[in-house]
Structure 1
Amino acid sequence: MHLDHAHPGPAAVGADARCPDGTRRALRIGLGGPVGSGKTATVAALCRALRTELSLAVVTNDIYTREDAEFLLRQAVLPPERITAVETGACPHTAIRDDISANLEAVEELEDTVGPLDLILVESGGDNLTATFSKGLVDAQIFVIDVAGGDDIPRKGGPGVTTADLLVVNKTDLAPYVGADLARMAFDARAQRGELPVVFQSLRGEPGAAEVADWVRRRAAAWTA
């Protein structure tokens, strides 16, 4: 289910869109959201959908482990050299918003070793509704919530819900089992986000992450046009 809002303009292409050697750098898209919302599963689905069209890589963030990166490696969604992990050592939002140096180093190393790349997905570790990415790290942000977390999450707002370039409401297949009202979630998301787009998805069947993949394709096309 997709809320039919007008989409915001494509990612701007400015001086920071180029590497020091003058070549075009990859588009960077961040994925954040609460623990268990399905960020890593969404990243895996995007890799499967886009890997034959775009040259892409992934940076994951976890506090003390490489769990998310290892999940992606087990799923074989990309060659191992295209997946790297950052161990933040603190709340994940610190490494994606406050001190982004470790993530920038990981991104630049991927571009150096497996580039040129079209797209880098930067996944935050599980955080709360305040998690946002620094604009110095990513060019666009996807925020993932899930219906099992409560159908009042869109109503509660928070920077992730209200300002992300794309809001994904995941695990819609669980709505009947947890008593979630999807229509209410859609109404509340519209009230919080205005014209910013929202996608409702379930990765348990078709179309899966197809709408999110289409959104990423449009951003990537605008970035390289």
Structure 2
Amino acid sequence: MVLSKMLKSKAKKIQLVTYFHADSHISDQFREIRENIRFLRDKNKNAIFLITSPENGEGKSTTAANLAVSMAQQKEKVLLIDANLRAPSLHTIFKVPNQSGLSNLLKGISNIDESIYPTDVHHLDILTSGPEVFNPTEILGGQMMTDLLKELGSMYDVILIDAPSVLKTTETRVLANQCQGVILLLQKGKTEMDKAVKTKRLLDLAHANLIGVILNDK
């Protein structure tokens, strides 16, 4: 299912379009994606969704950030997690600290209250990546991550995970089947068809529930 096709906009250079230009055409498209996801949600499960792409530089972090803002604007309590422990970016988009975050939690050296930051967007919190680690696959694939998602799932209406690209790392594959659904971002003119197909195959092998694709026309 194609959740939406993101069209070009004069506002696209601003990363948080849904916040600074809520009346823009791009913001309308994020609202469309938000509503499509709402229809696909299983009310009996924690609403945890992972956003990824075949390779780097296809706009998934910006997409995750804007989708989180759009969901929070509906007064849902939203948590955005930066699970890209190798090359995090959400702390720069939201201009929050990254001294403590996901990696600290999974190492057991900080608690949730110390690691989750409120944003300027009402109802939206962010769990940044935290300090760099040398074994992200082992950390994200461990029992502590499973337990953390279960605990956070009881605290928020929706959790969005900004995950690394599928073809460049293995972390996303160990996270994918812990989520209610996976959203795949493809960039028009950049994502090659064979890489998109390979990504889909790897997600299937990881028993991920691919609920839709966003076509990004940057």
Give the TM-score taking structure 2 as reference length: 0.52
Partner of 1:145: 186
State the distance in 2 between where 1:3 and 1:119 align: 17
- Would the aligned equivalents of 1:94 and 1:100 in 2 still touch at CA under 8 Å? no
The corresponding residue for 2:62 is 41
**Contact 1:44 1:77 (8 Å CA) reproduced:** no
Provide the rounded CA distance (Å) in 2 between the counterparts of 1:106 and 1:85.
Answer: 14
Q: CA deviation at 1:60?
A: 0.7
Q: Show CA shifts across 1:143-200 (max 9, x none).
A: 2232313243334442237954234243334xxxxxxxxxxxxxxxxxxxxxxxxxxx
| 3-state secondary structure, aligned to 1:82 | strand
Equivalent AA in structure 2 for residue 60 of structure 1: D
* Alignment partner, residue 124 of structure 1: 163
Percent identical among aligned pairs is 13
Q: 2:213 aligns with which of 146, 168, 174?
A: 168
User: In the alignment, which residue of structure 1 is the partner of 2:133?
Assistant: 89
Runs of 4+ in 1 over 6 A off after TM superposition: none
- 2:79–2:125: 8 Å Cα contact kept in structure 1? yes
Q: Compared with structure 1, are the counterparts of its residues 155 and 137 closer, same or farther at alpha carbon in structure 2 (3 Å cutoff)?
A: closer
C-alpha distance 70-166 of structure 1, shift in aligned 2 (>3 A):
same
SS in 2 for 1:121: strand
How big is the alpha-carbon RMSD for the aligned residues of Structure 1 and Structure 2?
A: 4.1
Aligned positions of 1:204-219 closer than 5 A: none
Q: Unaligned stretches of 5+ in structure 2?
A: 5-36, 97-118
In 2, the alpha carbon distance for the partners of 1:92 and 1:81 equals: 25
2:80 alignment counterpart: 58
**Structure 1: gaps spanning 5 or more residues:** 18-25, 174-225
1:29 to 49, 62, 66: 49
* C-alpha distance in 1 between matches for 2:80 and 2:150: 8
